[in-house]
Amino acid sequence: MSIALTGDRPTGPLHLGHYIGSLTNRLDMQNKYQTYIMIADTQALTDYFETPEFVRKNVFQVAEDYLAVGLDACDIFIQSTIRALPELTMYYMNLVTLARVVRNPTVKAELKQKSFAANAPCGFVCYPISQAADITCVQAEFVPVGVDQLPMIEQANEIVRKFNSMYKTDVLKESQAILSPTSKLLGIDGGAKASKSLNNCIFLIDSPEVVKQKVMSMYTDPNHIRVSDPGELKGNVVFHYLDAFWEEKEELAALKAHYKKGGLGDVTIKQKLIEVLENIMQPIRERRSKIDKKQLEEIVYAGCKKANEKANDVLYKVKDAMKLNYDIV
């Protein structure tokens, strides 16, 4: 079975944006690949280094979300527990010039977005290199990414080729991106992206009451005042969510036509959306209610152990190729 690696930064509970963007995709992956899911706490610390307790708190939150959506055939592990990762990163850092890493389009874009300017920490600038360590430490052959992350895979493969050719080995494996559709879910306020930092998303842990309240507050068409008014679909968040989550495409088309014509109230379409979302969220809630804290820990720790064994084996071969094979400690 081929190996795949995916993961999230533990910077908050997962939300419907994750569900549509990556979690459903992983539900499919876990049957096709040996799938590792990395909870990237070390990477989260490259920009949340001032609030480690915040990152810590979210590690098991995210793990719980994984199990709640049904990701029970993956190996979930915590990045900071993998001792081979920083070692691999250090060795790879010799193979990448500073100029190359700063030119990486993903780094460039994120530096701009985070407005670090000249004050970017070294850890942040070098994160494509530590991502190469993430990918190679489990010998991942497939990595699902959005199109904006493609340069990261390219960078990792560059390191793999350079390492293997320089040290005359084949221990490192090139990986292939699985392009995931970048269907960004809008925020409930109509914002360009559902994001926990903007507090405009529906979390998988939200109760039915909270979901109802959030849907009821959704941005629709500000000119759609009376029920009889014709409504606008463009920018209408309720229809955006229905597009994303409602599988009955014919019924949805009919609903849209009715709304455009007039005579369909916002409350009605919102109730429909609540029903659609609850169909998805109810099973998640049910699975979550059965998760025992102790058992969750055991599952994650078993994943850490397995990933560590794999990564130590890769590191051993890497160090052997680099003549750093002192079998002493």
Binding site for a copy of itself (CB under 8 A): 41-42, 45-46, 49-50, 52-53, 55-56, 78, 80-81, 83, 86-87, 89-91, 93-99, 101, 118-126, 129-130, 166-167, 301, 304-305, 308, 319, 322-324, 326, 328-329
Residue 42 amino acid letter: T
Q: CA nearest 149: which of 111, 179, 113?
A: 179
Task: Determine contact, residues 233/269, Cβ cutoff 8 Å.
Answer: no
In angstroms, how far is the first alpha carbon of the chain from the final one? 33
Task: Choose between 69 and 111: whose C-beta lies nearer to a copy of itself.
Answer: 111
Please report how close the Cβ of residue 277 comes to a copy of itself at its closest, in angstroms: 34
d(CA 317, CA 118): 37
Task: Choose between 19 and 163: whose C-beta lies nearer to a copy of itself.
Answer: 163
Rounded to 5°, the CA angle 168-328-134 comes to 50
d(CA 188, CA 200): 5
Please report how close the Cβ of residue 80 comes to a copy of itself at its closest, in angstroms: 5
d(CA 266, CA 166): 63
Cα dist. 285→8, 36, 67, 279, 314 in Å?
Answer: 20, 24, 11, 11, 38
Please report how close the Cβ of residue 117 comes to a copy of itself at its closest, in angstroms: 9
Please report how close the Cβ of residue 54 comes to a copy of itself at its closest, in angstroms: 9
Please report how close the Cβ of residue 100 comes to a copy of itself at its closest, in angstroms: 8
Task: Choose between 53 and 247: whose C-beta lies nearer to a copy of itself.
Answer: 53
Give the other-Cβ count within 10 Å of 16's Cβ: 24
Task: Choose between 153 and 307: whose C-beta lies nearer to a copy of itself.
Answer: 307
Residue 149 corresponds to which tokens in the numbers above?
Answer: 């992350």
Residue 21 corresponds to which tokens in the numbers above?
Answer: 């963007």
Task: Choose between 1 and 118: whose C-beta lies nearer to a copy of itself.
Answer: 118
Task: Choose between 70 and 123: whose C-beta lies nearer to a copy of itself.
Answer: 123
Length of the chain: 329
Please report how close the Cβ of residue 123 comes to a copy of itself at its closest, in angstroms: 4
